[in-house]
Amino acid sequence: MSTRQKSEFHAAAQKVRIETRAFIDGKFVEAADGGTFETVNPATGKVLARVTAGGKAEIDKAVAAARRSFEAGVWSGMAPRERKKALLRLADLVEKNAAELALLEVLDNGKPITDAMNADLPDAIETLRWHAETIDKLYDWASPTPRDVSSIIVREPIGVVGAVIPWNFPLAITAMKIGPVLAAGNSLVIKPAEQTPLTALRLAGLAVEAGIPDGVLNVVPGDGPTAGQALGRHPDVDCLSFTGSTEVGRLFLKYAAESNLKRTSLELGGKSPAIVLDDVSDLRHVAEQVAIGILFSQGENCSAGSRLIVHKAVKDKLLPELVEVFKGWTLGDPLQPDTRIGAMIDEGHLKRVLSYIDSGKQAGAVLVTGGARALEETGGYFLPPTLFDRVGNDMKIAREEIFGPVLSVITVSDAEEAVRVANDTN
């Protein structure tokens, strides 16, 4: 990242192109009923744009376009080497437009620009390239049989795939869906999170430039109960991939059960532990790694290390190191290169995380640092690194996913207890 880039992020953000329409069958379109919703900059609380609110009608059109493209074979029947070239072109275009996509991600999501530039964009680009390179390297299998029998196991695309994207890593996870789905020759309908639809829509425009045929990749923004449910229940969707909360994941299993029993793949929440025993020698290094585990991406991460299970012999020595390291995680404007913690995704989520903090206090946990909304004058939704001591593993803050920069410290007496507590989750 050059010095010039560092000084011009705010100016560049003012010029970034924002596409707000749904992308169906190779074209950007408005909703049939003209409906829109607001997408808000979490760092300022201000509206970025009004985005097309897709509903059942738009999902039906997108699925029909995906089915037509699949049955016509414009992608599913394309020579593997040609599909590979198109997907590689898409990866190249993402790389070429990385600065613009990173800015869109920051404005829509609130994460630090350095995270978007150094983590999310490289991840998305490599994901697309990796799957593109598999296309002409996956072979069918010949199964072992008697000499007078031939048996072949053939890999075939499943058909129309629906993908529902979360708001915490919108671009990277969209790439994680596009890569394998298109590599296998399927057609795809994406429903991005209503909080962060902008990079998926921009990616759809790049897919046109890459030469991906009309109808193969469709993006329908909208909320979960309408667009998301319509996609989950659609009888002509053969497979659905969802990344998001455990609560909503259960709904997609229900939608599949009550419709066509479509194959459903779920990546849901977590309550990951870090274990520190009494033989550790470098407590500062441990503190730095624990901080990365819980504070990266504002703790809005399904694999966030939100429980620190620590031996009683080193806990009192480790806590001051953690507090000191937490102070080094600068909270502030996501467009400033030295910011390490940006804004929470929206006001509702901030209030949810604060309610967990209140729950911890009421349960008897000791708040060591953080715990209150910060930088309110910006209009944004900021929460500093937050640390609780004396947490019992039966407390709400230890058992439920908070999805924020909140670490619970649980003290144990030996390794066996540490492993037992680590595994004692829902």
Domain end point (choices 267, 295, 318): 267
Q: In sequence order, what are the residues at sequence separation of 6 or more whose Cβ sits closer than 8 angstroms to the Cβ of residue 109? A: 42, 116, 167, 168, 170, 195, 196, 342, 345
Give the pLDDT score at 1: 47
Write down the catalytic residue from 8, 267, 288, 400. 267
What's the pLDDT at 6? Answer: 52
283 and 257 together in one domain: no
Orientation of helix 98-109 relative to helix 170-183, angle to 10°: 120
In this structure, what CATH number is given to the domain that contains residue 340?
3.40.309.10
Same domain, yes or no, for 231 and 189? Answer: yes
The pTM score is 0.95
42 three-state secondary structure:
coil
Q: Would 28 be classed as within a structural domain? A: yes
Q: What is the pLDDT of residue 283?
A: 97
**Residue 38 is among the residues annotated as catalytic for this protein:** no
Same domain assignment for residues 218 and 298: no
- What pLDDT sits at residue 14? 87
Looking at the domain assignment, is residue 156 inside a domain? yes
Domain limits at 232?
A: 10-267
Q: What is the pLDDT of residue 426?
A: 85
5 assigned to some structural domain: no
Q: How many domains does the structure of the chain reveal?
A: 2
Does 169 share its domain with 314?
no
Q: Is residue 3 part of a domain?
A: no
Q: Are both 193 and 155 inside the same structural domain?
A: yes
CATH number of residue 94's parent domain: 3.40.605.10
- The stretches of 211-336 forming alpha helices (DSSP H) are 229-233, 246-258, 283-295, 312-327
CA–chain centroid gap for 223, Å, is 16
Residue 4 lies in a domain: no
Instruction: Tell me: do 137 and 227 sit in the same domain.
Output: yes
Q: Are residues 255 and 319 in the same domain?
A: no
Chain Cα centroid distance, residue 403: 12
Question: Are 347 and 241 within one domain?
Answer: no
pLDDT score for 257: 98
Same domain, 259 and 287: no
| Catalytic status, residue 239 | no
- pLDDT for the residue 384: 98
Question: Which of 212, 238, 267 finishes a domain?
Answer: 267
DSSP character for 313? H
Co-location of 314 and 253 in the same domain: no
The answer to whether position 2 is within a domain reads no
Question: Among 58, 239, 300, 302, which one carries the catalytic annotation?
Answer: 302
Average pLDDT of adjacent 10-residue blocks, the chain of 426 residues: 62 91 98 97 98 98 98 98 98 98 98 97 98 95 94 95 98 98 98 98 98 98 98 98 97 98 97 97 97 98 97 98 98 96 98 98 98 98 98 97 98 98 94
Whether residue 296 sits in one domain with residue 214: no
Question: Of 160, 134, 139, nearest to 263 (Cα)?
Answer: 160
Position 1 in a domain? no
267, 299, 328 — which closes off a domain?
267
Distance set, CA 101 to CA 38, 96, 129 (Å): 19, 10, 17
Has residue 179 been placed in a domain? yes
Residues 204 and 224 in one domain: yes
Distance CA 47, CA 391 (A): 38
